[in-house]
Structures are given as structure tokens and as C-alpha cells.
Chains A and B, each alone.
Chain A
């Protein structure tokens, strides 16, 4: 088993995630892209853990999964509220904090 393949998968997933975060306008899709980034990190963690036969990496991955669940819960709630108030979840339209 080669570590390279997992790292390549992870890198591809990360790149797709970054693209999604930067390019998509839909709030839900941005959140999903963030999930992609996080899972790319998870793959990294797990693969290095397996490679070095060290358990803490997998434990960290589990923590990341839990935190990601919480994060997406909050994020979806915010998107829902945005939709309720503005009938629209286009992130480029939301610039109330512009200086």
C-alpha cells in the first residue's frame, strides 16, 4: 500500500473543496465544500495514522468528524435564517459588514 495514492486523493478533494468555497454562490453548496475540505484533512490524518501505526491520528479524525457535524448544524441554521429573511441564499448578495 502506498501513502501517495491517499495523499493524492486528499489533495484532489481539498482542491475541489477550495474551488467550491470560493466559486459557488449558493450557501448550502459552500457548506458542503467546507465538508469536502474537512474530509480531505480526515483522509490525511487516517492515512498517516495507518502508515505510522499510531492511533492518535484516527482519534483526531473522529474529533474532526464530530466538530464538522456541529459546524454544519450551525451553518445550516444560519442559511435557513438567511433564506427566511431574504428569500435568497446567494452569498455574494450578503455584504452588510462592508467597510
Chain B
């Protein structure tokens, strides 16, 4: 991989992109995967209500086939990746002359360099000589996302057939789940940023529709609007960033006006042919998009509110797939971010800071929630922060791996919370749950597996991915350090603290839900198989997914089993920047495990020992100590108030930002309206009336009408005269004919 960059940077030969248009059938035809759910969306919309199962069978069938195709694509990719060093041809865009500047518009040269990613593009439209394409870019991250999205989506579809059974908009629900799956799959295979933008907006719309699924309640439609509008803020960043990159590529290549192509942009950025300032601006704009879509501090406020949607929606869209779109976008345009934010060789940058801060902020907020889904929502924010932080410190593979494992255990936890709420008809842990482990054994066990995976205890999935991120920070100084792109010690500390907090709040959540005595009403019962089977599949994946990427140099397994995920997912092509890989560290893994155990220990001591003892003494199931730290210590009380009000961010946005601007803006708008617009409109109206009157009397009545009436009268008169000729008697006609013939014959004789 390094060779490709040396080639470009040393200013000789062409800049290889490392993409090919040939390859296995599955790799070239990945566009079929998003197409299937899109077709099912149309099918459900038109025929869903007439089908015996209300359209859900169409969605499940489409996703089942899509999953099959994704698995085949994945297998094809693995063999493709394993023998990529063959002499395939690939595309290169820019030839570099000896000055290191783009000189010769190479355009689709056949070259003998190794190529990995498979593209398949068609021209979408042409405007002003610029060709806009649409197509697929199939490489490691795309294949991984295809598999993950189709699998989770299929399981959640099955789960939903029970969860939203009998809902009045059952068909509508499945139609939009299909549309969402299609949009998300389109996003992950996008070949250019324009297509990515379209898919990005589409998933946003689906998120809006599905959060507001029960829009009859004001809270739900408000939450949907909040999600949509908050995302708009970031989408502006995406549009600006994409446009900046479009023109930046155009400026670097003399033969084109601009290009949206992801591989081209990345390759040019990585080879240093795009100016650093441009990349910095683009990266900052794109970060705004990531902050809104992936719930990063301080645009994260919509994500907890989005829990107003049905639980399967929360699991699919707001935990496993859509919210990682931002993370995926960073991973896709990593060349731009890597160069723009100077990730290599520093110890702090915007992305790492935003991610690290978010991960702490989200974890703290998870402590004060009563609503089980909100705990998971803040946990999602925190884990997304982890991924963004990992990308910020250059641990690309670790971030993707965490995205992969997180999808499984977080979907499992969300579906578990849905199963619980299905039984107790509430999401409130404090008033309506407790002691559910006895009546809901399957939900309890899968929830426990998901929680331990999230907390990050070995050997569950979360441990491996979290540990790779911590190692990737390169901030661990003990026993030789871990290498990496820079010494991000601050991020290592943030990650460690979050690990302890995560373990603690999940302990609290598990205690309040499943331990103690039942505090709600009615008789909770275990959910049906359509809910528990997906739960168990996801729990199984949460158990084993971590083994996909055992660390390199892990002495307990043979080398052929190490770093499989990194090997297949991380691109080794010209469009991917040259990242330095951190080395795993036994000491770091042990310390992080101890930190997690400490987090669990403190929370368990508080809940399982002290609260349980107080409950026994009080004779009822308590959720907090009657005389806990928040009542005794002023500092703790202050912190609790701050957290319970979500850092007053909502007050800031609605009260100060929106309230402070809307008054003056409204007043100004009113005055402009009254004094400028109304007068102009009135004047125009009056003039129009006067002009209309003149036109009516002079032109319409006299000229136009006169002309029309006159022509009509002429027709009538001439018709009246001519009708005499048409007697209906054939002999009269014959007489006229012969007379005319005679006249003509006479004329012929006279004149010829």
C-alpha cells in the first residue's frame, strides 16, 4: 500500500486509484441489494393492505434475498481481497508530471498496479459538460455495512411483525422500514458524494416518518420534527463540504470542472494534491453533518427524543444503522479528514475532541434516565462518540469494528427493552419494572449478554472493539506503548473513564429492570418467539462478533485467525490514506478490564448491596437510597440537576437561540410585510385593476369580441347562401358537374 503513495508523492507516473471495473458478478452488481427493499417499498405501498400479512411478508422477503446477496457479495469480496495482488487492470485519473502537479488528464488508463475496490457506474445526468455518475463502490467497509444492515434489518422486521401487530398503520410502518433499508444500503454502496448526499437525506426522511409513526400524540410529532430540523443543521454542512470538495478536485485536475467521485477525492487528498486549507474547511463542514446525524455533542439532543418512535425503529435506525451513517461517511472520505485534520502525528484534533467529549457527555446523561430506552439512547450517543474518537485518532479499523459489534449488541439491547415494555406497557424503569428476570428469562439473558458486551468484558464483542480503540489512541505509555498515529493521551483517558461509566450505568439499568421486586401493575409475561428468536440471534452475535478481529500478535490463537476483520475491511487501495496501525497491548487490555470491573463493582455495591438492603428494610422495592448522595451532598445534587436538565442544551436551543432570534426576526418581518411588501402588492393590484378595466372595455369588448362575432356572422351568412346548392338530389349535382366540365372544356378550347 505504501508503494502507491510513494509513487504519487514522488511525482512520477500516474496516481493510482486502486479501483477496478472487473471482478466477481456479485461485486459488480451490488446495486441489486438496495433495489430489492426499494421495490418492496413500492409493492407494500400499492398492494400491502391487500396481502394477508399486511405487507410485512414483502419486506421480509426482500430483505431475506438482500441478506443472501450480501453474504454472497461478502464471500466474493473475501476471495477477491485474498488474491488482489494479481495483475488486474485498474482506473487512474491523474497523471503527475515531474513537478508533482497534475499534468496529463490520464482518465481510465489501463495499468498494471494492484487494484482492490470494484466500481460500477452509469452516467446519471450531464450538465455543462460535467458528467454526474451514479453507481456502486464495493470494498471492505461497503461489504461489511451491507451485511450488517441487511442482517439487523431482517431480524428487526421479523421482530416488528409481533411488536407492532394490530397497529393501525401496520402496512405503512413496513413500507417505510423497507424504504429506510433501501436508502441505507444505497448510502453504503455510494460511489460518489452526491449519491451519498441523496441517500443521507432519504434516511433522514425515513427517520422523521418513523419517529412520528404515532403522530396523534403531540410529543411524538414534536420529536420527529426536532430530529428532522436538527439534522437539517448538519445537512447544510454536508452540502457545503461536498461542494467544496467538488470544486477542489476540479481545481487539482485541469481537464475537469469538478468531481464528486469518492475515490478520486480521497486519492487526490491523500497524495497531497489538494490544498490543506481547503481540506480543513471541507472536513469541518462535514464534521457538522456527522455531529447531527451521528448524535455528537452538541447536536445530539434529537437522538434521545427520537425514542418516541416504535422500539424496532429505535433499534434499527437510531442505534444500529442510520446514526452510524456519519461515522461511515468519515470512514468513506477518510483521505479528506486524515489530511484536513492532520490526524497523523498530533495529539489532538477536532474530530477526536468532539468524539471524546461526546462519549463522556452521553455516558454521564445515561445515569439520570428513568426511561430504559433513553438510557440506551444516551449509551448510543456515547458509543458513537467512541467511534468518532477512534476515527479522530486514526484507528480506522477499530472504529469500523466497533461500529460492527455495536450494531449487534445495541440492537439486542433495544429489542430487549422493547420486549420488556411489551410486557409491562411502559418504558419507565423506576415505576413499572423490577424483578423481571424471573418472568422473562429469554429477555433477561439476552439483555445481560448485550449489557456485558456493551460494558466491554472479555471475551464478548464490545471488549475487543473497545480495546482496539484504546490501543489506537497511542496514548498508552506503559511497557513500550502501542504506536499509532499520534500520542492521543487525552482520548485514552476519556475512553477509559467512559468504559467505567458505561459499565456502571448498564449495571444500574439491569438492576432497575430485572432485579428487586416488580413495581408495576398487571402480570408481565415473556414475549413470543418472533421477539425472542431475533433477540437470541443478536445476543449470539454479541457473544462471538468480537472474534472476527482478534488482535495481531495475540498469542493464544494461530496467526491465520488474527485481524481477519481488518484484513478484509480496511482498504489497501490508492484512495485510502496511509494510517499507522497501533499494536495491541496486554497491559492496556488488563487495565481496561479492571476499569470496567471497577465500574461494575461500584454500581453493583450501590444497587445490589445497599439499595437491596434498604429495600428489605423498607419492605418495598426501592430504586435509589432514601438518603443517597444527591440528598446529602450539594455538589452531587448540583450535578444531578445539571444532568437531569440535559446540560440545559434544550433550554439553550429553544429558549435562547430560537427565542432570542425569533422575536426580532418576527417583528422585522412584520414591519417589512406591512410597509414594503403590502404597499408594493397594493400598488401593483390597483394598477392591475385599472389596466384591466381599460383592456376590458376597449380591447376585449370592441376588438376581440368584434372580430370573433364578425367571423361568426360571415360564416352564418355564407352557409345560408351555400346551403341552396346542397339539394340532396343527385341529378342536380350531376348537372353542376357537367356544366363545370363544359365551362372548363370551353376555356380549354379558347385559351389553348
A residues bordering B, Cβ < 8 Å? 18, 21-22, 30, 91-92, 94-99
Contacts of B727 in A (CB 8 A): 95, 98-99
Taking the closest CB of chain A, its distance from the CB of B108, in whole angstroms, is: 69
Whether the Cβ atoms of A91 and B731 lie closer than 8 Å is yes
- Shortest C-beta distance, B724 to chain A (Å), equals 8
Cα distance, A53 to B557, chains bound together (Å): 115
Q: A22-B738, A95-B728, A99-B728 are in contact. List 13 more A-B contacts (CB 8 A).
A: A18-B738, A21-B734, A22-B731, A22-B734, A22-B735, A91-B731, A92-B729, A92-B731, A94-B730, A95-B729, A98-B726, A98-B728, A99-B722
- Nearest to B733 among chain A residues (CB) is A97
> Which one, B722, B729, B734, contacts A94 given CB within 8 A?
B729
Residues of B within 8 A of A30 (CB): 731
Which residues of chain A have C-beta atoms less than 8 A from B722's C-beta? Answer: 99
CB-CB < 8 A to B731: which residues of A?
21-22, 30, 91-92
**B521 close to A (CB within 8 Å):** no
Tell me how far the C-beta of A89 lies from the nearest C-beta in chain B, rounded to whole angstroms.
12
Q: How far is the CB of A7 from chain B (nearest CB, A)?
A: 14
From residue A32, how far is it (CB to closest CB) to chain B in Å?
14
How far in angstroms is the closest Cβ of chain A from B746? Answer: 15
Residue of B nearest to A23 (CB): B731
Considering only CB atoms and an 8 Å cut-off, how many residues of chain B contact the other chain?
12
Contact call A94/B738, Cβ cutoff below 8 A: no
Chain A's nearest CB lies how many Å from the CB of B590?
Answer: 111
Which residues of B does A touch, CB under 8 Å?
722-723, 725-731, 734-735, 738
Give Cα A96–Cα B728 distance, bound, in whole angstroms.
6
Q: Give CA–CA (A49, B527) in the complex, Å.
A: 107
State which of A18, A22, A94 has its C-beta within 8 Å of the C-beta of B728: A94
Some 28 contacts from A to B, beta carbons below 8 A apart, are A18-B738, A21-B731, A21-B734, A22-B731, A22-B734, A22-B735, A30-B731, A91-B729, A91-B731, A92-B729, A92-B731, A94-B728, A94-B730, A95-B727, A95-B728, A95-B729, A96-B728, A97-B726, A97-B728, A98-B726, A98-B728, A98-B729, A99-B722, A99-B723, A99-B725, A99-B726, A99-B727, A99-B728
Across-interface contacts of A97 in B (CB, < 8 A): 726, 728
The distance in angstroms between the C-alpha atoms of A97 and B728, with both chains bound, is 4
CB neighbours of A18 from chain B (8 A): 738
Task: Give the CA-CA distance A98 to B733 in the complex, in Å.
Answer: 11
- The smallest beta-carbon distance between B731 and chain A, in angstroms, is 6
A91 to B734, CA, bound (A): 12
- Please, which residues of chain B bring their CB within 8 A of the CB of A99? 722-723, 725-728
B730 touches A91 (CB 8 A): yes
Q: A31 to B162, alpha carbons, bound, how many Å? A: 88
Q: How far is the CB of A76 from chain B (nearest CB, A)?
A: 15
Name A24's closest neighbour in chain B (CB-CB): B731
Complex CA gap A32/B669 in Å reads 94
Nearest neighbor of A95 in chain B, beta-carbon distance: B728
A31 to chain B minimum Cβ distance, whole angstroms, is 11
Q: How far is the CB of A17 from chain B (nearest CB, A)?
A: 10
Q: Chain B residues with Cβ under 8 A from A92's Cβ?
A: 729, 731
Bound Cα distance from A92 to B731, whole angstroms: 8
Closest to B722 in A: A99
Bound CA–CA A98/B738 (angstroms): 20
User: Would you list the 7 A-B pairs with minimal beta carbon distance, nearest first?
Assistant: A95-B728, A98-B728, A99-B726, A99-B723, A97-B728, A95-B729, A21-B734
Nearest A residue to B725 via CB reads A99
Return the chain B residue nearest A37 by Cβ: B738
Within the assembled complex, what's the spacing in Å between the Cα atoms of A21 and B737? Answer: 11
Set of chain B residues within 8 Å of A91, measured between Cβ atoms = 729-731
Docked Cα-Cα span, A97 to B733, in Å, equals 12
Chain A residue numbers with a CB within 8 Å of B729 are 91-92, 94-95, 98
- Bound together, the chains give a CA A30 to CA B729 distance in angstroms of 13
Report how far A95 CA is from B724 CA in the complex, Å.
13
Question: Chain A: which residue is nearest B741 at the CB level?
Answer: A18
CA distance A22 to B731 in the complex (A): 6
Distance of A97 Cα from B729 Cα, bound (Å): 8
B115 to chain A, nearest CB (A): 78
**What residues on A are CB-neighbors of B735 within 8 Å?**
22
Inter-chain CA distance A21–B730, complex, in Å, is 10
- For A94, what are the chain B residues with a Cβ–Cβ distance below 8 Å? 728-730
Across the interface, name the chain B residue whose C-beta is closest to A18: B738
Of B722, B725, B726, most A-chain CB atoms within 10 Å: B726
With a cutoff of 8 Å between Cβ atoms, the chain A residues found around residue B725 in the complex are 99
A contact residues around B734 at 8 Å (CB):
21-22
Q: In the complex, how many angstroms separate the beta carbon of B137 from the nearest chain A beta carbon?
A: 75
In the assembled complex, the CB of B283 is this many whole angstroms from the nearest CB of chain A, namely 85
CA distance A45 to B236 in the complex (A): 90
The residues of A that contact B738 with a CB separation of less than 8 Å are 18, 21-22
Chain A nearest CB from B61 CB (Å) reads: 66
Smallest beta-carbon distance A49→chain B, Å: 22
From residue A5, how far is it (CB to closest CB) to chain B in Å? 21
Alpha-carbon gap, A21 to B302, bound state (A): 97
Q: For residue B715, give the distance in angstroms from its CB to the closest CB of chain A.
A: 14
Distance in angstroms from B727 CB to nearest chain A CB is 6
With A and B bound together, what is the CA distance between A91 and B731 in angstroms?
8
- Give min CB distance, B721 to chain A, whole Å: 11
A61 to B: closest C-beta gap in Å:
21
The CA-CA distance from A53 to B658 in the complex, in Å, is 108
* Complexed CA–CA distance, A95 and B721 (Å): 18
- How long is the Cα–Cα vector from A40 to B23 in the complex, in angstroms? 86
Q: How far is the CA of A96 from the CA of B726 in the complex (A)?
A: 11
| Min CB–CB distance B741 → chain A (angstroms) | 9
> What separation, in Å, do the CA atoms of A91 and B735 have in the docked complex?
14
Task: Give every chain A residue within 8 A of B730 (Cβ-Cβ).
Answer: 91, 94
Chain B residue with the shortest CB-CB distance to A93 = B729
> In the bound complex, how far is the Cα of B730 from the Cα of A95, in angstroms?
8
The minimal Cβ–Cβ distance linking A38 to chain B, given in whole angstroms, is 14
**CA separation between A95 and B731, bound complex, in Å?**
10
Alpha-carbon separation in the docked complex, A96 to B727 (Å): 9
Query: What separation, in Å, do the CA atoms of A45 and B730 have in the docked complex?
Result: 28
**Chain B residues positioned under 8 Å from A95 (CB to CB):** 727-729
C-alpha spacing A22/B732, complex, angstroms: 8
What is the bound-complex CA distance between A92 and B725, given in angstroms? 15
The distance in angstroms between the C-alpha atoms of A21 and B741, with both chains bound, is 15
Closest Cβ neighbor of A33 among chain B residues: B734
Could you tell me the distance between the alpha carbons of A97 and B725 in the complex, rounded to whole angstroms? 11
A21 to B727, CA, bound (A): 17
Complex Cα distance A92/B735, Å? 13
| Complex Cα spacing A18 to B741, Å | 12
Q: Which residues of A contact B728 (CB under 8 A)?
A: 94-99
A9 to chain B, nearest CB (A): 19
- The chain B residue with its CB closest to the CB of A97 is B728
Q: How far is the CA of A22 from the CA of B739 in the complex (A)?
A: 11
Residues of the B chain whose Cβ atoms lie less than 8 Å from the Cβ of A21: 731, 734, 738
**In whole angstroms, what is the CA distance A97 to B726 when docked?**
8
Rounded to whole Å, the gap between the CB of A12 and the closest CB of chain B is 16
Residues on B with C-beta less than 8 A from A96 are: 728
Query: Which chain A residue lies CB-closest to B742?
Result: A18
> How distant is the Cα of A94 from the Cα of B735 in the complex, in angstroms?
16
Q: How many Å lie between the Cα of A96 and that of B725 in the bound state? A: 14
- Report the minimum CB–CB distance from A42 to chain B (whole Å): 18
Bound Cα distance from A30 to B730, whole angstroms:
10
Q: B679: shortest Cβ distance to chain A, in Å? A: 63
